[in-house]
Amino acid sequence: MTRSFVNIINEWDIVAARQLCREFAKELGFGIVDQARITTAVSELARNIFLYANQGIIIVEKIEKDGSVGLIIIAEDHGPGIGNLAKAMEDGYSTSGGLGAGLPGVKRLMDDFSIDSEVGKGTVIKTAKWLR
């Protein structure tokens, strides 16, 4: 198992994405706390897709670099996109509406984080965590 995905169409798909990524992390050898962190991050990303883009996809993949092993989560949608990325990555912005951890939270939970978004086209977020 090196790559799996879940289509996010309704709220239950968020649970499926959580489940998939938790299992994936467990199999790679992540500890219970890191499993929870990865799952929380996936949950946030899937929820953003469900709330703002209507539908999209969550992909999880095993990655290797310089002898380290990890996983990467890719969240992709063709929704409205994020107009002000700087603002979306700011603390206290997305959380103020009680939405949860927001993108800064995802970034904190994981090791690597990148985001590409174009208004009217959609958003791609890639975030990775490495086994220590």
Binding site for other proteins (CB under 8 A): 31-33, 36-37, 40, 91-92, 95, 100-101, 104-105, 108-109
| Residue 3 or 108 with smaller CB distance to other proteins | 108
Interatomic CA distance for residues 49 and 123, integer angstroms? 9
| Residue 60 or 109 with smaller CB distance to other proteins | 109
In the complex, the smallest distance separating the C-beta of residue 39 from other proteins, rounded to whole angstroms, is 8
In the complex, the smallest distance separating the C-beta of residue 54 from other proteins, rounded to whole angstroms, is 25
In the complex, the smallest distance separating the C-beta of residue 61 from other proteins, rounded to whole angstroms, is 23
| Residue 37 or 129 with smaller CB distance to other proteins | 37
In the complex, the smallest distance separating the C-beta of residue 51 from other proteins, rounded to whole angstroms, is 17
